[in-house]
Amino acid sequence: MINKKVENVQQALEGVADNMTLMLGGFGLCGIPENAIAELVKRNIKGVTCISNNAGVDDFGLGLLLQKRQIKKMISSYVGENDEFERQMLSGELEVELIPQGTLAERCRAAQAGFPAIYTPAGYGTEVAEGKETREFDGKMYVLEHAFKADFSFVKAWKGDEAGNLVFKGTARNFNPPMCGAAKITVAEVEELVPVGTLDPNQIHIPGIFVQRIFQGQTYEKRIEQRTVRQKN
């Protein structure tokens, strides 16, 4: 069986260069590839286009790349937690493409499955559909949306084996699965990397065929995006 394990994040990111298009899994700060993001910051990769549901917060997640002006364009759905993102967007420093959340997921899934495009009703009759092909199916109008084309996809799973099979935990099973195999190279970082045969085949969420490189992350802060607590009586 092919062994897709690499020893560290440095090896995992070999080939990443300026001006590439990168997919990054996660939802808010949940299930984000923290180690891969930290390495991108360290390498000072510039001019990248990031496809991610969120843009992190000011000092964590993709917010770290925004701080250093490493991102040229953000393709996202929800970006309301990042003041630096807002500042760069309003000043024209950052190109932004906002996409309905379901459409973002399906454009990832289309790329994963090898489909060139999808039709979706989301956004018809709004700015989202401007300049795009529309078509009627069974009396309802749909917008043509093209599958994403990315150079690298960085995802984070709870557990994986050396063949690249992945298991996600809880709400981290969000944008990570559809981004697996949706780029030329998928890099998975996991909290626990186990030998092949350790995982229950019935519990595997993503088979290893969708993953090219896998490594065990060193540290995970797992920060809470918005902490809401009840005041003590």
Q: Please indicate, yes or no, if residue 131 is contained in any of the structural domains.
A: no
pLDDT for the residue numbered 196: 96
Q: How far is CA 230 from CA 91, 222, 223, 227, 233, in A?
A: 38, 21, 19, 10, 9
Cβ atoms of 183 and 53 closer than 8 Å: no
Residue pointed to by tokens 């910051």? 41
| Residue 218 confidence (pLDDT) | 86
pLDDT for the residue 81: 78
* pLDDT exceeds cutoff 90 at 224: no
Q: Helix and strand tally (H, E) in the chain? A: 6, 11
The span from the CA of 35 to the CA of 187, in Å, is 11
**Domain of residue 161, CATH code:** 3.40.1080.10
Counted domains in the chain:
1
Average pLDDT taken over every residue of the chain: 93
Residue 123 lies in a domain: no
The confidence score (pLDDT) of residue 221 equals 78
Residue 174 lies in a domain: yes
138 inside domain:
no
- Residue 59 domain boundaries: 9-115+148-216
| Residue 188 maps to a domain | yes
Q: Give me the phi and psi of 95, to 5 degrees please.
A: -80, 135
Query: With 80 as the cut, is the pLDDT of residue 222 above it?
Result: no
